[in-house]
Amino acid sequence: MRFDIISALPKIYDAFSVSQIWQRAKEKGLLECHVHDLRDYTNDRHRTIDDAPYGGGAGMLLKIEPLVQALESLPKLPNCRILAASPKGRRLDQPFVENLAKLEQIIVISGRYEGIDQRFIDGWVDEEFSVGDYILSGGDLPAMVLMEAVGRLIPGVVGNQESITEDSFSSGLLKYPQYTRPPVFRGLEVPSVLRNGHHLDIEKWRKEQALKQTRQKRPDLL
């Protein structure tokens, strides 16, 4: 999987890309992450990437020219989608992420300021995505959320594949409660069913608890 990020703040991705999981995945050739500075695709000495919106209004918009130049400079694999982070976009949920993980390449346009010239969205972007019904200062954090969510689904990136298939939302339910040692702490005990070694009982308990958690915390998923 290849990720290309077009951003006005490319250095914000440095800490993300040096995480242990990403480093191992890059060494194995499973993931690539290329971050492109939008200002490198401007034609004026001030490296201008934004301008005031027609019709007035607060804030500035990312200009279409540097966005198109940046996008057209990138190599594109056959199975590629171009996404833009936007509060108007589709919610980034697990089914969406699983579909994205089937691609060879994802290009993410990270917005900044008040947004992006709509002509670029209409003409060059395949889909907009959102990480929630709230406003952020830019699209860089959503871009990193997308890369984390998609990247971990690529076979071999996460060492224990079972941990992926049992994650919350993978079954359509929230994950069951989990416990580790010690078995008792200040009178708080690990449920006995998890300590009896009977795998069928454990599996049944986990399914029941996952359903209970979902009913209590996310009934909209049922």
Positions marked active-site? 87, 114, 152, 167
CA angle at 167 for the pair 3 and 203, rounded to the nearest 5° = 155
Give one DSSP letter per residue of 80-137, joined into a string: EEEEEEEEEEEE--HHHHHHHTTSSEEEEE--BTT-B-HHHHHHH-SEEEESSSS--S
Could you give the CA distance from residue 139 to residue 153 in angstroms, rounded to a whole number?
22
- Rounded Cα distance between 197 and 208, Å, is 18
